[in-house]
Amino acid sequence: MTQREGSLEAPQADSSVSLLPHLEAKIRQTHSLAHLLTKYAEQLLQEYVQLQGDPFGLPGFSPPRLPVAGLSAPAPSHAGLPVHERLRLDAAALAALPPLLDVVRRRQAELNPRAPRLLRRLEDAARQARALGAAVEAVLAALGAVNRGPRAEPPAAAAAAAAAAASGVFPAKVLGLRVCGLYREWLSRTEGDLGQLLPGGPA
């Protein structure tokens, strides 16, 4: 559609695009989902650090933020990209997260077997990341944006994460913290990016 293509070619006009009602409803719905899941991700992170024991929950705790294979944190330049590019990166990250969350859940099932709530939250997080990723892809498709960007390779990411998990309990705890942190960051990022598509501009 000409209007949608116009909005994609002119990033500055993002917020002024008059979206079709059903598309706007879809974006609003996806934005609400992202907002809700961001809250859940906060709760997951809090529960995770509590169960790993100090220093994980302490304010000054700062393990090295090394990149996780197959997934990195949103770059500082992310906010300056066109909205469709940002959403593509969001969708790619959301697709890479589930296998990593599964690895963390399996490890936590050994380390904290009597923590059913944490295990359930990790399982739910993987499902929710998939659902939100699919919703963002649907928004992109509705906007006429073709996914051109490089995609993460989830199997490789999961294998690498599993290998790291095998190397020791402390690194596995840190890896889980990193994955939960990335999950929260990408959800928050997705919420912000979708918010920019809504009439009225960014939240």
Partner 1 sequence: MPAGRRGPAAQSARRPPPLLPLLLLCVLGAPRAGSGAHTAVISPQDPTLLIGSSLQATCSVHGDPPGATAEGLYWTLNGRRLPPELSRVLNTSTLALALANLNGSRQQSGDNLVCHARDGSILAGSCLYVGLPPEKPFNISCWSKNMKDLTCRWTPGAHGETFLHTNYSLKYKLRWYGQDNTCEEYHTVGPHSCHIPKDLALFTPYEIWVEATNRLGSARSDVLTLDILDVVTTDPPPDVHVSRVGGLEDQLSVRWVSPPALKDFLFQAKYQIRYRVEDSVDWKVVDDVSNQTSCRLAGLKPGTVYFVQVRCNPFGIYGSKKAGIWSEWSHPTAASTPRSERPGPGGGACEPRGGEPSSGPVRRELKQFLGWLKKHAYCSNLSFRLYDQWRAWMQKSHKTRNQDEGILPSGRRGTARGPAR
Q: Pick the closest to residue 8 from 160, 189, 180, 145 (CA basis).
A: 145
Q: If binding is defined by CB under 8 A, does position 1 make contact with partner 1?
A: no
Q: From residue 18 to residue 57, what is the string marking binding to partner 1 with x (rule CB under 8 A)?
A: ---------------------------------xxxxxx-
159 binds partner 1 (CB under 8 A): yes
Measured CA angle at 44 (ends 127, 51), to 5 deg: 125
Reference 45, options 171, 170, 154, 176; nearest CA is 176
Any contact of residue 136 with partner 1 (CB under 8 A)?
A: no
> Smaller CB distance to partner 1: residue 21 or 53?
53
**Which range, of 11-19, 106-114, 137-145, 193-201, touches partner 1 by CB under 8 A?**
106-114
Is residue 106 a contact point for partner 1 (CB under 8 A)? yes
For the chain, the straight-line distance linking the first and the last C-alpha, in angstroms and rounded, comes to: 26
Nearer to partner 1, 45 or 159 (CB): 159
- Tokens at residue 177, please? 């913290």
- The answer to whether 178 contacts partner 1 (rule: CB under 8 A) is yes
Query: For partner 1, which is the closer residue by CB, 14 or 123?
Result: 123
Distance of alpha carbon 121 from alpha carbon 43, whole angstroms: 9
- The closest of 40, 48, 37, 41 to 172, measured between CA atoms, is 48
Q: Please name every residue paired with 71 in a beta bridge, in sequence order, or none if there are none.
A: 68
Question: Least Å distance between CB 178 and partner 1?
Answer: 8
Q: Which two tokens stand for residue 147?
A: 């996914």
Q: What is the C-alpha to C-alpha distance for residues 91 and 135, in angstroms, rounded to an integer?
A: 9
Binder of partner 1 out of 97, 165, 187, 194 (CB under 8 A) = 165
- Whether cis (ω within 30° of 0) applies to the bond prior to 99 is no
Residue with tokens 């116009």: 6
Nearer CB in complex with partner 1: 10/66 = 66
- Among 20, 146, 166, 203, which residue interacts with partner 1 (rule: CB under 8 A)? 166
- By CB under 8 A, residue 161 contacts partner 1: yes
Told to check if 73 binds partner 1 by CB under 8 A, we report: no
* Contact positions vs partner 1 (CB under 8 A): 51-56, 58, 61-64, 66-69, 106-107, 109-114, 156, 159-175, 178
